[in-house]
A and B are shown apart, each in its own frame.
Chain A
Amino acid sequence: MVLEILVAVTVVSLIGTVLAALLTICEHFIADYGPCQISINDESDVTVKGGKDLLSMLTAERIFIPSACGGRGTCGLCKLKVLEGAGPLLPTEEPYLEKEERESNVRLACQVKVRGDLKIEIPQELLAVREYTCKCVEITDLTHDIKQFRLELIEPTTIDYIPGQYVQLLTPVYEKSDEEIYRAYSISSNPAEKSVIELIIRLVPGGICTTYCFEYLKVGDEVKINGPYGDFRLLDSDAPIVFIAGGSGMAPIKCMLHHMKNTDNKRKTIYYFGANEPRELLLTDLMREFEKQLANFRFVPVVCEPEDSNVLGCEIGLVTHAVQRDLKNATECEAYLCGSPGMIDATIKVLEELGVSEDKIFYDKF
Chain B
Amino acid sequence: MNAGPEISQAFVVCVSAMFTQNILLTYFLGLCPFLGVSREVKTSMGLGLAVIFVLTSTCMLNWLTYHYVLVPLGLEFFRFILFIIIIAAFVQLVEMVLDRYSPFLYQKLGVFLPLITVNCAILGASLFMVIRDYSFIVTIGYGFGSGLGWFLAIIAMAGIRQKLANERIPQGLQGPGITLIIAGLMALAFMGFSGVLQGT
Contact = CB atoms under 8 A, between A and B. Distances in A.
A7 interface: yes
B111 A91 contact: yes
Contacts of B78: 8, 11-12
B85 A30 contact: no
Contacts of B43: 91
A15 B97 contact: no
Nearest to B43: A91
Contacts of A22: 89, 93
Nearest to A93: B111
Which of B46, B86, B89 has most A Cβ within 10 Å? B89
A15 B85 contact: yes
Interface string A7-20: 11001100110011
A122 B87 CA distance: 40
A87 B96 contact: no
B69 A31 contact: no
Contacts, number: 53
B69 A15 contact: yes
Contacts of A20: 89
Interface string B88-115: 0100110011011001000100010000
Contacts of B49: none
A22 B92 CA distance: 11
Contacts of A11: 69, 73, 75, 78
Contacts of A31: 96, 99-100
Given A11-B69, A26-B93, A92-B111, 14 more contacts: A7-B75, A8-B75, A11-B73, A11-B75, A15-B82, A16-B85, A19-B89, A20-B89, A22-B89, A22-B93, A26-B97, A27-B96, A88-B103, A91-B46
B81 interface: yes
A153 to B, nearest CB: 42
Interface of B: 43, 46, 65, 69, 73-75, 78, 81-82, 85-86, 89, 92-93, 96-97, 99-100, 103, 107, 111
Interface in A1-42: 4, 7-8, 11-12, 15-16, 19-20, 22-23, 26-27, 30-31, 33
Contacts of A33: 100
B96 A26 contact: yes
Contact of B100 (A12, A23, A30): A30
A90 interface: yes
A113 interface: yes
Given A16-B85, A30-B96, A90 B75 contact: no
B82 A12 contact: yes
Contacts of A30: 96-97, 100
A90 B100 CA distance: 16
Contacts of A19: 85-86, 89
For the complex of A and B, 6 pairs with smallest distance between CB atoms: A19-B89, A30-B100, A30-B96, A88-B107, A31-B96, A8-B75
A23 B92 contact: yes
A4 B75 CA distance: 9
Interface in A36-91: 87-88, 90-91
A87 B99 CA distance: 11
A115 B93 CA distance: 17
Nearest to A32: B100
Contacts of B65: 15
Contacts of A7: 73, 75
A7 B74 CA distance: 10
B103 A87 contact: yes
8 contacts: A19-B86, A20-B89, A31-B100, A87-B103, A90-B111, A91-B46, A92-B111, A115-B99
Contacts of A15: 65, 69, 82, 85-86
B97 to A, nearest CB: 6
B52 to A, nearest CB: 18
B160 to A, nearest CB: 20
Nearest to A19: B89
B78 to A, nearest CB: 6
A113 B99 contact: yes
Nearest to A7: B73
B100 to A, nearest CB: 5
A178 to B, nearest CB: 28
A22 B96 CA distance: 12
A116 B82 CA distance: 36
Contacts of B82: 12, 15
A8 B86 CA distance: 17
B111 A87 contact: no
A19 B92 CA distance: 11
Contacts of B96: 23, 26-27, 30-31
Nearest to B78: A12
A8 B74 CA distance: 9
Nearest to B42: A91
Contacts of A88: 103, 107
A88 B108 CA distance: 10
A20 B97 CA distance: 16
A299 to B, nearest CB: 50
A113 B98 CA distance: 13
